[in-house]
Amino acid sequence: MATRSDSRSASDPQVDVDSLYLEEVFTDRRIGTIRRLTPVTALGTPDSTRTVLYVGETQVMSNVGALPIVFDIEAASIGDAATKFGPLAKEAIERTMRELQEMRRQAASSILVPQGGVPGIGGGGGGGKIQLP
């Protein structure tokens, strides 16, 4: 899961041995999955100096297929994460839909019109800044 952004680049694809997690997947096989990320040392033993992370995953259908929705769950146990899953999933879906609408709005408003007007539509036939003497 590559969600953390830092100064590393694709030209330096090394695993950070100080940031290893054991990943377990829990699912109800209906709504989604919860991933429990347990911190481990480079030897694979539990690292009690870091906290266990929970990540919820679900999907919604769109006109281009399934859209994955991933969100963090602050929880103390897998049961706590399961209880919090529904409201957090709903919030993440709503946020994603707002972001998609904003992206569509921006894409629709980014149509470029040549400077000087469009030929054949009142306001001149030429466009751009190049002018012949």
Whether residue 57 lies inside any domain: the answer is: yes
| Beta strands in 30-76, from DSSP E residues, in sequence order | 33-39, 53-62, 65-73
pLDDT tens, residue by residue, 2-34: 555 555 567 889 999 999 999 999 999 999 999
Is 24 part of any domain? yes
Q: How far apart, in Å, are the Cα atoms of 93 and each of 26, 80, 104?
A: 20, 20, 16
Give the range of the structural domain holding residue 27, as residue numbers without chain letter.
17-99
C-beta of residue 62 within 8 angstroms of C-beta of residue 76? no
Taking only the tens place, the pLDDT of each residue in 100-109 is 899 888 888 8
- Residues 102, 103, 106, 107, CA torsion sign: negative
Contact assessment for residue 130 and residue 124, using Cβ atoms and an 8 Å cutoff: no
φ/ψ of 40, rounded to 5, equals -135, 160
Beta bridge partners, 68, equal 59
Instruction: Read off the pLDDT of residues 62-120 as tens digits, 9 standing for 90 and up.
Output: 888 899 999 999 999 999 999 999 999 999 999 999 998 998 888 888 766 566 655 66
Query: 25 in a domain, yes or no?
Result: yes
Whether the CB-CB separation of 115 and 127 falls below 8 Å is answered with: yes
Phi, psi of 41 (to 5 degrees): -80, 175
Domain annotation covers residue 127:
no
27/22 Cα distance (integer angstroms): 17
Determine, yes or no, domain membership for 50: yes
